[in-house]
Copies of this chain bind each other. A is one copy, B any other.
Amino acid sequence: MMKKDNFQPARRRWLKRSLTVGGAAAGVATGATALASGSESLITEVQDWNRYLGDGVDANPYGMPSKFEGEAIRRDVAWLTADAKSSVNFTPLHKLEGIITPNGLCFERHHGGIAQIAPEDHRFMINGLVDTPLVFTMEDLKRFPRHNRTYFLECAANSGMEWRGAQLNGCQFTHGMVHNVMYTGVMLKDILAEAGVKASGKWLLPEGADPSHMTRSIPIEKAMDDCMVVFAMNGEALRPEQGYPLRLVVPGWEGNMWVKWLRRIEIGDQPWHHREETSKYTDLLADGRARRFTWTMDIKSVITNPSPQAPINHGRGRTVLSGLAWSGHGTVSRVDVSIDGGRNWHTARIDGPSLSKSVHRFYYEFDWDGRELFLQSRAIDEKRHIQPTKQALREARGENSIYHNNAIQTWYIAKDGTAENVEIS
């Protein structure tokens, strides 16, 4: 079974021949093939790609992924909204490694299409309850001290389709409204200090320059804590779909508040209760009341591999389980993993930087005996928040909420290695 998958029939002559001289070595956990002595030349002789010269350094002034990586793309779901100009596409979490989301694969959510703004024409205004209303060019903003911080951004509606039952077959669709980026920009508090916030100024209303004119109310305490006004992501300028040339970063809070194409912040004395914080982005409870001001994204995790879009292809034996965990409350202190639907839990290995309000990469290596599995991950953050079960979340909030589903996710692994989104109770 494993051999069949690993070695497709006769794709290259040397593949066929190497099969005849070797075979899986005893004690080799990864399925590598032992090579008979003197057969080394087989691997160095007949490879197509070293028979001719490839492209030169003048071919790609801006590099692109390999043509063999066509599956590593954002995907939208056409039926989810009325129009692609007011919709979402999803980060391919099952194709990612580490903690950085490449800029080309960061999920998009916008409400009036992608604005194309020339940076020299863009202006950013601070007005309202300030001593001096100010207008900044992009160049003005770059004269404040710059800071570099890595944060996850998660849409409040991420995993929203799962409230009423397992629905979407792949972590790209169930959990793909999250990305993790190193931002460069300036602290919002430094900008506010330059304008001078009046004593009566308690709330902020950031506003986007795109056709949807996105606005959200943000309390001044958050602005004075860790909010940033940023112009770069992962080392280069923001991408248009991420708000080029300027966006607001609201660490740990729901993505809709991270206003893109940021053109204005008004200071007021109370929240505005605009459309996107009343008709949307509030959590409807079972009794018809709504939770409001539910800004922080709670502790959450998901197993990205194996998962429905990334089945186990190598058969039984050594298997690497990999996933992501994040919390709007700070760092993730521990991730537990279960392969039997929550009966037994194993502490996963967190690898890579552990940064506050940033995703954490976790691994759990185990020997798969070929039996059916029910994979789950359960994360715990530095403030001792722990991921709830779907059942517990529904008992607390009903089934209408859509937003802020941070429940434990289950993937069923069949004997043939394929995976499916399921619920167990």
- Which residues of chain B are near A55, meaning CB under 8 Å? 85, 113-114
Q: Which 6 A-B pairs have the closest CB atoms?
A: A56-B84, A54-B113, A148-B352, A97-B184, A61-B73, A97-B232
- Which residues of chain B are near A240, meaning CB under 8 Å? 54, 63, 66
A397–B64 alpha-carbon span in the complex (Å): 40
25 inter-chain pairs at a CB distance below 8 angstroms, sorted by A residue, are: A6-B140, A30-B144, A32-B137, A35-B125, A49-B116, A49-B261, A50-B210, A51-B211, A57-B74, A57-B87, A58-B84, A58-B87, A61-B73, A63-B105, A66-B244, A68-B117, A68-B118, A72-B236, A98-B183, A100-B234, A102-B103, A105-B236, A139-B313, A144-B320, A145-B363
Check A121/B54 contact, CB under 8 A, given A134-B25, A134-B28, A182-B100.
no
- Which residues of chain B are near A60, meaning CB under 8 Å? 74, 104, 241
- Which residues of chain B are near A317, meaning CB under 8 Å? 143
Check A320/B54 contact, CB under 8 A, given A30-B194, A137-B6.
no
Listed residue (A64, A66, A113, A120) with the most chain B CB atoms within 10 angstroms of its CB: A66
Specify which of B12, B140, B322 is in contact with A32 (CB 8 Å cutoff): B140
| A116 pairs with B66, CB closer than 8 A | yes
Asked if A391 is at the interface of the complex by the 8 Å CB criterion, the answer is: no
Asked if A353 is at the interface of the complex by the 8 Å CB criterion, the answer is: yes
| A115 pairs with B211, CB closer than 8 A | no
> Residues 141-157 of chain A: 1 if any B CB is under 8 Å from the residue's CB, otherwise 0?
11111111110000000
Q: Which segment, of A36-44, A334-342, A401-409, faces chain B?
A: A36-44
A33–B124 alpha-carbon span in the complex (Å): 10
**Copies in the assembly, this chain:** 2
Asked if A277 is at the interface of the complex by the 8 Å CB criterion, the answer is: no
Asked if A110 is at the interface of the complex by the 8 Å CB criterion, the answer is: yes
Min distance, Cβ A156 to any Cβ of chain B, angstroms: 17
In chain B, what residue has the closest Cβ to A361? B148
| A29 pairs with B143, CB closer than 8 A | yes
- Which residues of chain B are near A54, meaning CB under 8 Å? 85, 110, 112-116, 210-211, 240
| A35 pairs with B76, CB closer than 8 A | no
| A44 pairs with B263, CB closer than 8 A | yes
- Which residues of chain B are near A254, meaning CB under 8 Å? none
